[in-house]
Amino acid sequence: MADSRSRLSRRAFVASAVGVAAGTLADRSAAGQPAGAAGAAGGAVDQNPIRRRGVGLRGLDEARACPGLTLFAPAGGSDVYLIDLRGNVVHTWKTPYRPGLYGYLTERGTLFFNGQIPNDTFIGKSPFMGGAALEMDWNGRVLWEVRRPDHHHDGRLLKNGNIVLLCSRELPDEIARRVRGGRPGSEVNGRTIWADYLVEATTTGEVVWEWRTWEHLDPERDALTALQDDRSEWTHANGVFEEPDGNLLVSFRNISTVIRIDRPTGRILWKLGAPPLSGQHAPTLLANGNVLLFDNGPHRLDESFPFSRAIEVNPATNEIVWKYQEPRPFNFYSPRISNAERLPNGNTLINEGVFGRFFEVTPAGDVVWEFVNPHFGPESAAPKLQNNGVFRAYRYSADQIARARATAR
């Protein structure tokens, strides 16, 4: 059995990033501080370093920021929020579950939400567990719900009306023995390794398609990137995105790899690994055919220290054609979770997820909006243990919000 140190290095660390339970929405002063936070005026100092630096709206260049509302689901709560550029809450969805791990607005205006239902399996006990995928209208009415005990991280509504879910199961022993990388002896119970597969299902839960990593990736060539990682999981999928032609982009954190899957055949059409990638999240296809993603960078093979960046990659050449990276690279770093979104005005919205920090940058890299999630939790934890992590954040236009409002019943 893996020792307690290996469990801390993986599961406890990730749990601290995505949260355990969230506090309620705190009223904020004009300075963006949560109500009740101890400050110098009260003779005490808030012991949470992220909250102490300030939350809520941190800056706005309204002339250059992209108009719209930003959607996010604080990691430990069950509410999904829409805020305006000044940080005011415009709408809230009350969901049945904590995020497993986020929600987004569909093209028809509904909220698609991945919820967390823990169970007693390895995946079921993990902080990145899902378990439920559902669709809600503007008023929070659940239109349908699908539950799977092996679902984690991500699920999306497909253009054909079905859903695609990231799922995980134990690898057969003969394949697990071939997995390279990581710390020997850190497998689940000292022996078992889990790996990912994709499931397409109807909204009634009928499975109509599967794609299994162990049938298309090689456990020796597609090794765990970081020697210090534990071997409880091989691939660790953390994002799936449907392209206009129905093909899928999938991100695998543990092997620092993004692939494009041909849906009809299951073949891998494109693949990018390490370097340049390192523990990345949330690949999306842009209108120009390039791929935008958040490159977390916890263990870079081509750099001597960790840092994060948002990058745009040309899949025809694998060249990085645009990136946002701080000139002092260690000023921007989220070792887990996070995403980036290209906005209609050409700016990019970036979610530095571990610290609940959302900011918008111009193509030249100027920051024109910044907001820090004020939801810290769990309330029962000591201040130093509370966090405000957010898996993903998205910006929506007035037309998209109008479509969402129209779903109200």
CA 303/CA 301 separation, integer angstroms = 6
Predicted pLDDT of residue 12: 59
User: Is a pLDDT exceeding 60 seen at residue 342?
Assistant: yes
CA 59/CA 369 separation, integer angstroms = 5
Averaged pLDDT of the chain = 92
Q: How far from 48 is each of 150, 163, 178, 355, 362, CA to CA, in Å?
A: 34, 39, 43, 12, 31
CA 360/CA 365 separation, integer angstroms = 9
Residues 6+ positions from 279 with CB-CB distance below 8 Å: 225, 226, 253, 254, 256, 295, 296, 297, 298, 299, 335, 336
Evaluate whether residue 48 is within a structural domain: no
Evaluate whether residue 98 is within a structural domain: yes
Evaluate whether residue 42 is within a structural domain: no
Predicted pLDDT of residue 55: 98
Cα angle at 170 between 164 and 173, to 5 degrees?
Answer: 140
- From the number of C-beta atoms within 10 Å of its C-beta (0-12, 13-18, 19+), residue 254 rates as buried
Structure tokens, 327: 């000139």
Evaluate whether residue 45 is within a structural domain: no
Nearest CA among 109, 160, 108, 106 for reference residue 133: 106
Residue tagged 């990137």 (tokens): 225
- When divided into structural domains, the chain yields a total of 1
User: Is a pLDDT exceeding 70 seen at residue 153?
Assistant: yes
3-state DSSP of 1-68: CCCHHHHHHHHHHHHHHHCCCCCCCCCECCCCCECCCCCHHHCCCCCCHHHHCCCEEEEECCCCCCCC
Question: By three-state DSSP, how is residue 404 classified?
Answer: helix
Evaluate whether residue 173 is within a structural domain: yes
What's the rounded mean pLDDT across residues 299-303? 95
What is the value of pTM for the model shown? 0.91
pLDDT band at 19 (very low <50, low <70, confident <90, very high): low
Strands 348-352 and 357-361: antiparallel
Question: Which runs of E-coded beta strand occur in 202-247?
Answer: 207-212, 237-242
pLDDT band at 43 (very low <50, low <70, confident <90, very high): confident
Evaluate whether residue 40 is within a structural domain: no
Contact 90, 82 (CB under 8 A): yes
Predicted pLDDT of residue 18: 64
**The domain spanning residue 294 has which CATH number?**
2.120.10.30
User: Is a pLDDT exceeding 90 seen at residue 155?
Assistant: yes
What's the rounded mean pLDDT across residues 95-113? 97
Evaluate whether residue 34 is within a structural domain: no
Structure tokens, 74: 């604080």
- From the number of C-beta atoms within 10 Å of its C-beta (0-12, 13-18, 19+), residue 75 rates as buried
pLDDT band at 22 (very low <50, low <70, confident <90, very high): very low
CA 340/CA 359 separation, integer angstroms = 10
Domain of 100? 4-16+70-405
Contact 273, 255 (CB under 8 A): yes
User: Is a pLDDT exceeding 70 seen at residue 197?
Assistant: yes
Evaluate whether residue 96 is within a structural domain: yes
- From the number of C-beta atoms within 10 Å of its C-beta (0-12, 13-18, 19+), residue 259 rates as buried
